[in-house]
Amino acid sequence: MTGLATVHAGRLSINGTYGGGASVLSGGMLGGTGTVLGGVNVASGGWLDPGNSIGTITVGSLTLQPGSTLRIEADDAGHADQVISLGDVSIAGATLLLVPTSGTFSAGSTYSILTASGTVSGEFATVSSSLPLLGLTTTYRADSVSLAPGESPTTPATVVEVTIPTPNHNAEISAVDPVAGGPGSLLQQMTVADADAGIWSDPQDIGFGNGQAALGLGFGQFNVDGYRQRWQTLPLQYSWKLDNGTVAILDAPIVNISTDGHGHSLRNRSFSPGGGLRIPINDDWQIKPIVRWGTVVDDDYNHIGSLASGTLTSHYKTQLNNDWQFGMDNMVGVYRSVGGNVHGLDASYDLNETVLRNSVRLGGPLDSTPLGSGARWMAWVTDTRYFGDNLAVSNIQDLGVAVSTRVRSGSGFDQVLHAGLTVQRSDSGGNAIQFNVGYRF
């Protein structure tokens, strides 16, 4: 048969030899393990899906229009769908969707997905997968390959390959890495929890039973490289005063994380319980050692990655005129990856990071406002930097404002309702905004 085969909707599988070409329109899909001797054009919204499961389709030439999708299945034994073009290939603006079958994949493994005896123009605009790590990479290189079974001489060709990242490489190239990416990642959330743990708690009486509880709710969004990462935090904390005036702290932040963009839609959760002491040096200065362990899981509670940390924070504050207050918070800490493999991969994170986090804050009274007696405002700037293994996000600056109200509760401590807004800028070029409310009682 010859002529132009047009796929308007549904799937057309070619498993023999077709003498003409093919046009795949929006809503249509071309697949099979045969040969299309003419050119194949896939329009925006159309799909090219080689094989019937994992297999190879051969075409005379190939044009993937912007908005079209090349769907590639791959298994954990190193096999993948492939397109062989006897002529030129154009892929500028198209999407590459890697669909892993069940099994445990080798991190760092490379799959050859397309070869062309002519030229390959353009690159994929989006490379997507349902794997828990989003940093898939494609390479375009010249090679010598056999273009058809039984060909003796090898033919110079352009080869397109896709590589599954190792966990560390994913953290290096993906700003939305769930373990060590932007503000919603486990590393960033643990850093904030270590810095903020017990900073506002003020139990008045000695003993565990006379302690202070605190709970909160936070919402954040991080936009970077076409991704939108959102998270919701539920910080839980309890603190109590010891005989020597030191305050003991236990907390357990819980975070829900959703990442969308470039065909991805991932849902993760993180848990990072920790504990430490807030030790007074004098009336204005306190130091705070904290240890913490955290983990990230997917929607089915499959392991993604875990970190352990130890930090030391200095909190200094001094009273200014008119009841204003100036403060500095300086933290140094180490974060190390722990635990097993990433779900679906035969590899685990191997991260070693040192963090320096420095903040200055200024606060004062909010007199004659509807918030009532004792209400206060506060503003702060923070710089957080990570040193160690390369990360896509290694530096974040914060600018935040907050208000709080205070109500005396009997002869004990103040009850405090706190609300704050923070905007963030990262060295990856991404921007984030967070809103938090908290209640201490």
Determine the number of helices (DSSP H) and then strands (DSSP E) in the chain.
Answer: 2, 32
Question: What pLDDT score does 145 carry?
Answer: 40
* pLDDT tens string 231-255: 999 999 999 999 888 999 999 999 9
Q: Which helix (H) or strand (E) holds 191?
A: helix 186-196
Q: Any idea which of 77-81, 103-107, 235-239 has the lowest mean pLDDT?
A: 103-107
Q: What is the pTM of this model?
A: 0.85
Most confident by average pLDDT, 327-336, 360-369, 399-408: 327-336
- pLDDT at position 402 over 80: yes
Q: How far apart are CA 268 and CA 276, in angstroms?
A: 27
Most confident by average pLDDT, 104-108, 131-135, 224-228, 434-438: 434-438
Percent of the chain whose predicted confidence (pLDDT) is above 90: 61
Residues in the chain, total: 441
Question: What pLDDT score does 415 carry?
Answer: 61
Question: What pLDDT score does 43 carry?
Answer: 95
Average pLDDT value for residue range 320-330: 89
Q: How far apart are CA 60 and CA 87, in angstroms?
A: 6
Cβ-contact 35, 17 below 8 angstroms: yes
Question: What pLDDT score does 149 carry?
Answer: 40
Question: What pLDDT score does 414 carry?
Answer: 57
Question: What pLDDT score does 4 carry?
Answer: 83
CA dihedral for 364, 370, 374, 375, sign (positive or negative) = negative
* pLDDT tens string 140-169: 877 544 334 434 344 556 788 888 889 999
- pLDDT at position 55 over 70: yes
Provide the token pair at 437.
């409310």
Percent of the chain whose predicted confidence (pLDDT) is above 70: 93
* pLDDT tens string 327-360: 999 999 999 999 889 988 889 999 999 999 999 9
DSSP secondary structure letter of residue 70: E
Backbone angles phi, psi at 168, to 5 degrees: -65, -40
Mean pLDDT of the chain: 89
Average pLDDT value for residue range 389-415: 80
Q: Any idea which of 19-28, 88-97, 363-372 has the lowest mean pLDDT?
A: 363-372
Question: What pLDDT score does 416 carry?
Answer: 81
Question: What pLDDT score does 175 carry?
Answer: 92
Question: What pLDDT score does 105 carry?
Answer: 87
Q: Any idea which of 94-98, 113-117, 137-141, 431-435 has the lowest mean pLDDT?
A: 137-141
* pLDDT tens string 13-38: 999 999 899 999 999 999 999 999 99
Question: What pLDDT score does 413 carry?
Answer: 42
Backbone angles phi, psi at 378, to 5 degrees: -150, 145
Question: What pLDDT score does 144 carry?
Answer: 44
DSSP codes joined into one string, 260-287: EETTEEEEEEEE--EEEEEEESSSSEEE
Higher-confidence residue of 440 and 151: namely: 440
Binned at pLDDT 50, 70 and 90, residue 320 comes out as confident
Average pLDDT value for residue range 187-212: 89
Q: Which helix (H) or strand (E) holds 309?
A: strand 303-319
Average pLDDT value for residue range 72-98: 90
